[in-house]
Structure 1
Amino acid sequence: MFSIGVRGHDLSEKQTIADLGSALEELTIQTVQFAFNMSFPELVTPVSKLTSGLAMATRQALADKNVRIGVLSCYINMIHPDLVQREAALQRFETYLSYANSFGAPLVATETGCVHPEIHYTAENYTEKAFQDVVQVVKRLTKTAAQHGTLVGIEPGINHPIYSPEKTLALIAAVDATNLKIVLDPTNLITAETYQKQADIIQNCFDLFGHKIDVIHLKDFIVKAGQIIPVAFGEGVMDIPWFLNFLKDQKPGITIILEETKDRKIATAVESMKEWSDR
């Protein structure tokens, strides 16, 4: 029922795009979140190397193995404090938006970054100024996306300026763009204090902005020393069977991208997900 996928860079030692396609085909995976600069950085560094020809060739190489790009990944620090570096990052994202259709990707995704050059936890991300900076940037990106007939996917996270379900709703209201979508990773909104209420947190997200949720990121986690630590699928305390059953009712057919599950562990995860989703 679901479109189950993985991040391309979670499959290691793939020398070419065709290699990646073959590996995905062997795993019976037909959807990939494709981060060009992480899987094959030499082909798109600098981003001026990217062309419609390269995008279409990538799309075809994967399609030959029955794989589609469900998410085009271009994770940037959209509120970098150095305005020159911020502008370069935004222009890179806009370049990906301009070629998304050539990749056959419906959506280009990013998180919302950090007020510091290096992305990490800081309470300074929770200020009104940081939020308003994100609003202005996302307005710009959705305007560019509209010119190219594609979507912008924003992924909230507790370490970022869009750090809660309520702040996500505020962003959606402030930007007011039909082509703004949400990439929901529940683990990004869970803390060591709240993880036992994960179902309530997920339900709240769907109550507030379920109509905007277009892609799910799914990663398991453990709680250690008061921290949420991502782990491979099935090795943590994420209530995955409940979540999949919930999604079957709320978003049948949605793209689910596995995270933090790599190489040989992917096959087991995909098999388990298919079994649970078919129940």
Structure 2
Amino acid sequence: MMNQLGFMSYVYMGWSAEAMAEEASKHGLMYVQVDPKQKLHIMDDEPFSLVRAEKIRTIFENYGISVVGLSGYTNLLNPNLSKREEKLAQLETMIDLCAAYGTRYIATETGSLHPTNAWRDYEGNRSQEAWEQLVDIVDRLRSRAVENNAVLLVEGFALNVLAAPEQAEALMERLGTDGLGLIMDPFNYLKQDELGRQKEAFTAIFDHIGKYSPIAHAKDTLYSEEGFTTPRVGAGQSEWGVYARLLRDRLPDVPLILEHAKPEEVAECLCLIRQSFEGIEYDT
């Protein structure tokens, strides 16, 4: 047995909702994580329309695909305060759309205080002031989620303000689970010095955040001369067999959502994922 599979809508960037739903169904994908801002050739001039949301939901459902969550990714801690407020207000609008898409979940990463790049490390990210700002912002968004019977899912990243699974757990303990959860994405947390002890590292990540994670992501971890990146499945250094076993043993009912692949890479990625789960049966 393995987790049911889905995909991020941006995997099929530039495709219509109809075309991506048809293609994804051929691969046996049952879930999609939709970015409401993405052009899907349906009322694209009204990205936050309830009617548009319901039409997109219906298209996927016609192919047996459920909207597992929304992608509301933005830099919660944008150092440009006016831009930060603009993006937070937009995220709140997307929270309001969850029900129309047929989901309770909307995901975001926390971002960085870096002046020009939300994905780069910055010394200020590790300050207590940055952490308290993040807590306040997440609490604001969590409250909006509660009003809509929705759940904000926070995704950590090693170079962001929320950089470690211990921090994610601390956030949950401080704010509680009402309207708030986490994404199971260990690839974002894996440190370079943990590459040689991935079973221990992945297990610790599950220990800290597993019980708060209703959605899991499928990609990889890569440390190179260019720094830290999280490419598609099979293009990095992660031991997928370790991840597959932990998913099977601890989160078997959680949808597993494919990221960072191009349309022509989807079949290979899914094959690698399925092989990882099949390999568990012979490694007990």
So what's the TM-score if we normalise by structure 1?
Answer: 0.91
Residue 108 of structure 2 is matched in structure 1 by 110
Distance, in Å, in 1 between the alignment partners of 2:99 and 2:48 is: 13
Match of 1:169 in 2: 169
Q: How does 1:37-116 map to 2 (within 5 A)?
A: 37-40=37-40, 43=43, 49-116=47-114
Distance 1:121 1:43, change over 3 A: farther
Could you give the per-residue CA deviations for residues 162-208 of structure 1, whole angstroms, max 9, x where no partner exists?
11122112211222232211112212112322222222222112222
Distance (Å, rounded) in 2 between the aligned partners of 1:49 and 1:232: 27
Q: How many angstroms apart in 2 are the aligned matches of 1:168 and 1:231? A: 22
- What's 1:20 paired with? 20
Cα 1:76/1:223, change in 2 over 3 Å: closer
Structure 1 equivalent of residue 11 of structure 2 = 10
Name the CA shift for 1:238/1:142 in 2 (closer, same or farther; >3 Å). Answer: same
* Unpaired stretches in structure 1, ≥5 consecutive residues: none
For residues 38 and 57 of structure 1, what CA distance do their matches in structure 2 show? 14
The residue that corresponds to 1:35 in the other structure is 35
**Equivalenced residues, count:** 276
Task: Name the CA distance, whole Å, in 2 between partners of 1:44 and 1:89.
Answer: 19
- What does residue 227 of structure 2 align with? 227
Cα 1:268–1:38 change in 2 (3 A) is same
Letter in 2 for 1:210: G
Output the CA distance in 2 between the equivalents of 1:68 and 1:96: 18
Superposition pairs of residues 115-126 of structure 1, within 5 angstroms: 115-117=113-115, 118-119=117-118, 120-126=120-126
Question: Which residue number in structure 2 is paired with residue 185 of structure 1?
Answer: 185
| Contact 1:35–1:73 (CA under 8 A) maintained in structure 2 | yes
SS at match of 1:63: helix
Q: Distance in 2 between matches of 1:222 and 1:141?
A: 31
For 2:146 and 2:232, the matched residues in 1 are separated by 36
Greater displacement, 32-41 / 148-157: 32-41
| Alpha-carbon contact 1:162-1:171 (below 8 Å) kept | no
Identity score, percent: 21
Larger deviation, residues 145-154 vs 224-233: 224-233
Aligned equivalent of 1:151: 151
**What is the deviation of 1:221?**
3.2
For residues 82-139 of structure 1, what are the alpha-carbon distances to aligned partners after superposition, in whole Å with 9 as ceiling and x for unaligned? 3222221111111111110110123100000112353122121111111101100111
Change over 3 Å in CA distance of 1:230–1:143 after alignment to 2 = closer
The answer to whether the Cα contact below 8 Å between 2:42 and 2:56 also exists between their aligned partners in 1 is no
State whether residues 62 and 68 of structure 1, in contact with CA within 8 Å, keep that contact through their aligned partners in structure 2.
Answer: yes
1:255 is matched with: 255
More displaced 10-residue stretch of structure 1: 51-60 or 117-126: 117-126
Give the match's secondary structure for 1:181. strand
Closer, same or farther in 2 for the Cα pair 1:275/1:253, shift >3 Å?
Answer: farther
Q: Distance in 2 between matches of 1:182 and 1:41?
A: 30
- The AA in structure 1 aligned to 2:76 is M
CA distance in 2, matches of 1:50, 1:236: 35
